[in-house]
Structure 1
Amino acid sequence: MSFTEAMKSQPKLEGWDCHWTYYSGLAISAVGTLFVISSFLALGFTGTFLGDYFGILMEEKVTSFPFSVLDNPMYWGSTAIYLGWSLMHASPAGLLLTAVVAISYTIAVLYEGPFTEEIYRRKQKGVKSK
């Protein structure tokens, strides 16, 4: 079952089923989409889809927008999209699922962050020694 189906099959938060919450969710989703798309454009296909795990590295670690604004912008942009979608649908189930996504990404960052720093540190050290 998809995220949207899970939300729509559950009761709404009636107090949140209003224009203010809907448009707030829409704005949050738009910002999340900006972070996800700009991350993909900055990293490219290979950088986005596990290139570093297979030794296909960028020339250097990407630090331009959106990485200059936020660490892990693709993860947090995705989380913002889920949050915005949940608010747009006034869905407590969506909010719970968004929390699960955020926790999952937080755990991933705990492992991926040091890994990424280390592979680019090694690459930089290797380039300097040539």
Structure 2
Amino acid sequence: MTRLLGYVDPSDPHFVAAVLAITFNPLFWNVKTRKLSRAFGSPYLACYVLGGAILLLNVLRSHCFTQAMLSQPRMDSLDNPTAYQVGLVLLGIGSMLVLSSFFALGFTGTFLGDYFGILKEARVTTFPFNILDNPMYWGSTANYLGWAIMHASPTGLLLTMVVALIYVVAILYEEPFTAEIYRQKSSQFHKRS
């Protein structure tokens, strides 16, 4: 880790922008307050607007991530064809996990419709959820890791760790919430039966 930090200039504006873009999450504002749902008058509209905002923020995050990598030194030990191919494989696996998660969840499932009261019939357990919990988060992390390795970027590796840490924190909040709402939905269904 110390060796990695020797390559990174934390005062570089591109690095600072990347960290800010990675750590900003507008969802947590809505979870307790439901202000987005009230502001838009519909949980679906609020979810679509939040989903659009998340997509735009992901574009910004990826841009800032790339600019931070390009503005800082490369790591010679990663600058070789084998590492590049490993990065490509990670990018492929990550993209497959993200896309298959999106297709399994749909737009509102992907963009946290459950926080707006928009639930599936049951919790999704098909591929890729049957092989990995939170495949979209880990797929996204694999994408950033692959991108960092392909660019031989210690800054990219450090930022990937920040991405993974943010996702772990998100999972700590989301998993209990998701488990509880689907448990409640199931118990309400059984009471009506």
Q: TM-score under structure 2 normalisation?
A: 0.67
Residue 15 of structure 1: how far off its partner (Å)? 1.6
2:157 is the counterpart of 1:95: yes
Larger radius of gyration: 2
Residue 16 of structure 1: how far off its partner (Å)? 1.1
Residue 13 of structure 1: how far off its partner (Å)? 0.4
Deviations 1:37-67 (A, max 9, x none): 0000000011111210011100000000000
Q: Choose the corresponding residue for 2:78, options 16, 20, 27.
A: 16
The answer to which structure, 1 or 2, has the higher relative contact order (CA under 8 A, 6+ apart) is 1
2:173 is the counterpart of 1:111: yes
Q: Moved runs in structure 1, 4+ residues, more than 3 A?
A: none
Count of residue pairs brought into register by the alignment: 130
Residue 128 of structure 1: how far off its partner (Å)? 0.7
- Measure the CA separation in 2 of the matches of 1:100 and 1:22: 22
2:132 is the counterpart of 1:50: no
| Structure 1 unaligned residues grouped into runs of 5+ | none
- In the other structure, the counterpart of 2:145 is 83
Identity, % of aligned positions: 61
Residue 116 of structure 1: how far off its partner (Å)? 0.3
- In the other structure, the counterpart of 1:25 is 87
| Structure 2 unaligned residues grouped into runs of 5+ | 1-13, 15-63
- In the other structure, the counterpart of 1:63 is 125
